[in-house]
Amino acid sequence: MSTIENFNNYLQEKLDERKSNGLIRTLTYKGDKIDFSSNDYFGFSKSVQYDISEETSFGGTGSRSITGNNPEAEEAEKTVADFHKQEAALIFNSGYMANVGLFSSIASKGDMFISDEYIHASIIDGMRLSHANRIKFKHNNLDDLEKKLQQIEGRKLVAIESIYSMDGDEAPLIAIAALCKKFDALLIVDEAHATGMYGNKGDGLVCKYNLEKDVFAVVYTFGKAIGLHGAAVTGSRVLRNYLINNARSFIFTTALPPTTYLQIKRAYQLLPTADRKELEELIIYFRTEIKKLDGISFLESYSPIQGIIIADNFKAKGLAEYLFTKGFFIRAILSPTVPVGKERLRVCLHSFNTKQQIDMLLLEIKTFLG
């Protein structure tokens, strides 16, 4: 047997181990199923139109620092910065690349990252690639965060999400910002799931609470409510210039095509008109109706992200597969992505869903769970 065959057998054993633990991942697509899974909260992925000229390129052609920069990119960045009341913005190709680029480059040896224990994997990977140390504080626990801040000397950088992607709960943002100010820590906020949903025009929770001057950097992801691709890091002009020179996930990748920057600019023009009230009403309706079902445990979330706790990998996957056969597209979230015993069905609500669809969904969940 060749070396390649031996190694493929080794990889297959690893896959078999995942499968035996109910952790195997497979790719699928929504097709004509009712969407209760995507992050496209307002359906922008199907509705954002933009004008292009015959001269507009459909390719990035190179990195931004070589040939990939263009007026469309810089105009989109100005739009994003102005919308979120920041000095400057720098667009990355995805939220993952934005977080990896930001967190891997801004901290040095002797610095300390303090992150919420439920922080997104992209931020964890970025911190791992830096030369800084890192510790966690208990999820949304202000006392634990303060204790950690008291114990640390040197530069401190606190990393949180404003709305958490798995539980859908909100960070105590005002109180965390106050603690960071008290202990001279830099606050970094990932607004991926708050963008579009919160604030007077969908500008997020940092803007809603007027914390723009209290936050060092904010990451706004375009793959959720904005329905597109890419993400922006906002902050000072100094931060933007620093990332252009030091963020490897920005420097060493082909730029987005000009057409994507045009879409981003157009989506930001439409964001204030998104059906936030309609979605808020559906969230209330979902929570009201699920409380009527006996024996079903669910998360306390008032965001579009709703979690139904199943507490078993195989059962959670089985429920998702059953719902697929009934016309619903929903994915199971398994441990270790979430803690053991917190395996769940992650339901994402959208302004284009209906109360009737929610009724049908909850009926099928009740039928499956008995």
Q: Is the pLDDT of residue 54 over 60?
A: no
Task: Report residue 45 as tokens.
Answer: 């992925």
Give the model's pLDDT for residue 242.
98
Among candidate residues 74, 77, 93, the one with its CA nearest the CA of residue 250: 93
Please state, in angstroms and rounded to a whole number, the distance separating the CA atoms of residues 211 and 174: 8
Please state, in angstroms and rounded to a whole number, the distance separating the CA atoms of residues 64 and 183: 37
Give the model's pLDDT for residue 57.
65
The stretch 104-109 carries a mean pLDDT of: 96
Q: Please answer whether residues 369 and 319 qualify as being in contact, where contact means their C-beta atoms are separated by less than 8 angstroms.
A: yes
Q: Please answer whether residues 130 and 123 qualify as being in contact, where contact means their C-beta atoms are separated by less than 8 angstroms.
A: no
Secondary structure class of 181 (helix, strand, coil): helix
Mean pLDDT computed over every residue of the chain: 94
User: CB-based burial of residue 309 (10 Å sphere; 0-12 exposed, 13-18 middle, 19+ buried)?
Assistant: middle
> Which amino acid does the sequence have at 258?
P
Quote the percentage of the chain above a pLDDT of 90: 86
Q: Is the pLDDT of residue 147 over 80?
A: yes
Q: Is the pLDDT of residue 59 over 80?
A: no
Instruction: Categorize the per-residue pLDDT at 27 as very low, low, confident or very high, splitting at 50, 70 and 90.
Output: confident
Q: Please answer whether residues 126 and 100 qualify as being in contact, where contact means their C-beta atoms are separated by less than 8 angstroms.
A: yes
Q: Is the pLDDT of residue 61 over 90?
A: no
Cis upstream peptide for 339 (omega within 30°) = no
Secondary structure class of 113 (helix, strand, coil): strand
Give the model's pLDDT for residue 46.
84
Query: pTM of this prediction?
Result: 0.94
Q: pLDDT digit string (tens) for 164-218? A: 999 999 999 999 999 999 999 999 999 999 999 999 999 999 999 999 999 999 9
Secondary structure class of 211 (helix, strand, coil): coil
Please, what are the domains in the chain? 22-40+275-369 (3.90.1150.10), 69-272 (3.40.640.10)
Position of tokens 């965001």? Answer: 303
Q: pLDDT digit string (tens) for 73-85? A: 999 999 999 999 9
